[in-house]
Amino acid sequence: MSLWLDFLGAEIRYVETPHFGRIRIAEAGVGNPETILFQHGMNGHLEAYAKNLMALSGQFHVIALDYVGHGLSDKKLDAYTPAVFAEQLLALMDTLHIDKAHLSGESLGGWVSGLFAAKYPERVRRLMLNTAGGIPVVSTKGKQDMQNFMALNKANVDTVPNRASVTARMQWLMHPNNHHLLVEELIDLRLRIYLAADTRRVAPTVNALIQRHDEFLIPLEQLQCETLFLWTQDNPIHDLEAARAAAARVRGSQFYLMQADAAHWPQYEAPAEFNTVAAQYFATGTLPAAAKA
């Protein structure tokens, strides 16, 4: 299915913010009383949520965004860190007059969401950390996964990105059983973004943030909102051991382990399951009875 068909009914537009410039968003469900803000991973873009926005828009006001330095948002800053992206999120909420929102982020998006929730608890309803970064890497495999991830990123920074390097980077996101989801349209979209002159210019700065991972860890004990760790059996870097250890540090947190095959992109790899869990959790704070981990 084309990404355009996935997004049919959503509005893709740009929002001008005072300090971060133009931010690209995809939006649906305008007028619904509660908002979910979906946030992509490192080197990603809002199309990571192509299979979730419309499915949840009947119940929620849903927004996916491109971080600055990513996708088609502006790339005018000198520094790109999770702390900077948290301030971008605040600016976007203020510009859109969103007083309080649910947050769901995968990878970098979860990392940023956790930092935001700790710093601005009054602006957060419920928090979903979806295969999030920003928690301690505890296993030998996780540390090796980190090295592999850095090498894949380096291949798209030190040399001109090409179809092979982008395909390898995107295969890393998904369970091997889901590589058929990497259709030409999705790979071409990311390749065009990576090849854009402004993306090439900021890519070294953006990619350097992973080397500073432990400087920006989520202060887990400070999280005050309801928090869900949504994880997969095969998530790289921050594996189940890391996720369980992090969840134990968040008072009252819940944990959900995806049943379908998925790795780092469960919202895209298994959207029906993800959307069911997200709809119930953000509406009620509970999980489907048959699916609790």
Per-residue pLDDT of the chain (293 residues; tens, 9 = 90+): 789 999 999 999 999 999 999 999 999 999 999 999 999 999 999 999 999 999 999 999 999 999 999 999 999 999 999 999 999 999 999 999 999 999 999 999 999 999 999 999 999 999 999 999 999 998 899 889 888 888 888 888 888 999 999 999 999 999 999 999 999 999 999 999 999 999 999 999 999 988 889 999 999 999 999 999 999 999 999 999 999 999 999 999 999 999 999 999 999 999 999 999 999 999 999 999 755 55
> Domain ranges in the chain?
3-291
d(CA 242, CA 277): 21
Tokens of 238: 């921050």
Q: How many CB atoms lie within 10 A of CB 158?
A: 10
This prediction has a pTM of 0.96
Strand partners, 11: 27
Question: What count of residues does the chain have?
Answer: 293
**39 — phi, psi (to 5°)?**
-130, 130
> 181-214 burial, b for 16+ CB within 10 Å, e for fewer?
bbeeebbebbbebbeeeebeebbebbbebbeebe
**292 — phi, psi (to 5°)?**
-70, 145
CATH superfamily, domain 3-291, is Alpha/Beta hydrolase fold, catalytic domain (3.40.50.1820)
Pair 110, 133: CB distance under 8 Å: yes
